[in-house]
């Protein structure tokens, strides 16, 4: 349900979703909310966001105060990309900042309650900066800028089930020796882990070895983009807040991106 706090909130709701009803979760509504998040981040003003009364902010797998989180500092955004999950009523946004006080590569899932994209129920962020796994924002930006993220044509879109299976299969490789072979690797496919680049992406894969399953998995699945993003805690290697995003094109893995926070602190 929509919670009106003041007139500015009302005006923004009308701009965000002119025609959506609360009954269905629309792609446009999800992407508008994701854009409002990016605008708030660019301005360093979380107060501009339309948050539901039961809003939760989570940063690096810890519930915390949005007012003192990453959103409270303005970062110039060099690149952003969002995907939309109309079934879960959630979106995924990644953004890269190379020019601010601190470079960042950030993965954020935004969730909405009751299919109502005019207010945000949860912002769930994993952020990486200097000192994190293979961190180099400029290098990452260079790889990601060259990628093709056009919509997958109707009839060629991977199913939700396949995307979930690929996302889970990927995170299971560290604990399940057979998981790597369950994934349909593409021959022309790129893996960008932090700023570490591997092509083809199915090269040098883990085959079990850890007893700790990568846990706390949260999914955003977008059949139109052929992508799944899973936020998790990377327990197999060290309880790190982590994002793994995989894109499937023509039934095969095309891109893999990881954002991993190894510092275990607020931002």
Ligand X SMILES: *[C@@H]1O[C@H](CO)[C@@H](O)[C@H](O)[C@H]1NC(C)=O
Applying CB under 6 A, the residues found at the interface with ligand X are 23-25, 38-39, 42, 54, 56, 77, 80, 113-115, 122
Do residues 236 and 173 touch, judged by C-beta distance below 8 A? no
Q: Which is nearer to ligand X, 34 or 128 (CB)?
A: 34
Q: Which is nearer to ligand X, 78 or 201 (CB)?
A: 78
Q: Which is nearer to ligand X, 53 or 130 (CB)?
A: 53
Scanning the structure block, which residue is given the tokens 């945000």?
120
Do residues 129 and 267 touch, judged by C-beta distance below 8 A? yes
Residue 31 backbone phi and psi in degrees, to 5: -70, -35
Scanning the structure block, which residue is given the tokens 């706090």?
5
Rounded to a whole number of angstroms, the minimum distance from the CB of residue 113 to ligand X is 6
Q: Which is nearer to ligand X, 125 or 236 (CB)?
A: 125
Q: Any residues with CB less than 8 A from the CB of 85 and at least 6 apart, and which?
A: 30, 91, 92, 219, 220, 221, 222
Rounded to a whole number of angstroms, the minimum distance from the CB of residue 41 to ligand X is 7
Rounded to a whole number of angstroms, the minimum distance from the CB of residue 126 to ligand X is 17
Listed in order, strand segments (DSSP E) in 112-201 are: 120-128, 185-193, 196-198
Nearest-angstrom CA–CA distance, 90 and 92: 7
Rounded to a whole number of angstroms, the minimum distance from the CB of residue 216 to ligand X is 14
Nearest-angstrom CA–CA distance, 83 and 31: 8
Q: Which is nearer to ligand X, 78 or 249 (CB)?
A: 78
Rounded to a whole number of angstroms, the minimum distance from the CB of residue 23 to ligand X is 6
Nearest-angstrom CA–CA distance, 201 and 192: 9
- Partners of 82 in the β-ladder: 93
Rounded to a whole number of angstroms, the minimum distance from the CB of residue 134 to ligand X is 24
Q: Which is nearer to ligand X, 28 or 206 (CB)?
A: 28
């Amino acid at each position: 349900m929509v919670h009106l706090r003041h007139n500015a909130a009302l005006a923004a709701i009308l701009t965000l979703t002119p025609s959506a009803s609360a009954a269905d979760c629309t792609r446009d509504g999800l992407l508008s909310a994701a854009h409002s998040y990016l605008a708030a981040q660019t301005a360093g003003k979380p107060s501009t966001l339309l948050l539901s009364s039961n809003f939760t902010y989570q940063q690096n797998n810890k519930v915390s105060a949005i007012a003192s989180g990453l959103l409270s500092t303005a970062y110039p955004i060099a690149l952003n990309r969002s995907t939309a999950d109309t079934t879960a009523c959630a979106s995924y946004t990644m953004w890269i900042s190379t020019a601010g006080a601190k470079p960042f590569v950030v993965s954020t899932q935004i969730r909405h309650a009751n299919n109502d994209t005019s207010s945000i129920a949860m912002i769930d962020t994993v952020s990486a900066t200097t000192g994190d796994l293979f961190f180099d924002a400029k290098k990452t930006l260079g790889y990601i800028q060259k990628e093709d993220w056009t919509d997958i044509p109707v009839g060629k879109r991977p199913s939700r089930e396949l995307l979930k299976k690929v996302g889970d299969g990927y995170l299971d490789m560290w604990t399940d020796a057979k998981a790597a072979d369950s994934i349909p690797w593409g021959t022309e496919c790129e893996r960008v882990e932090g700023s570490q680049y591997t092509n083809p992406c199915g090269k040098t894969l883990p085959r079990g070895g850890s007893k700790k399953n990568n846990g706390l998995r949260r999914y955003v699945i977008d059949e139109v983009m052929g992508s799944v993003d899973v936020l998790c805690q990377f327990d197999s290697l060290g309880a790190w807040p982590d994002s793994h995003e995989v894109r499937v094109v023509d039934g095969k893995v095309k891109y893999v991106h990881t954002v991993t926070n190894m510092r275990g602190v607020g931002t």
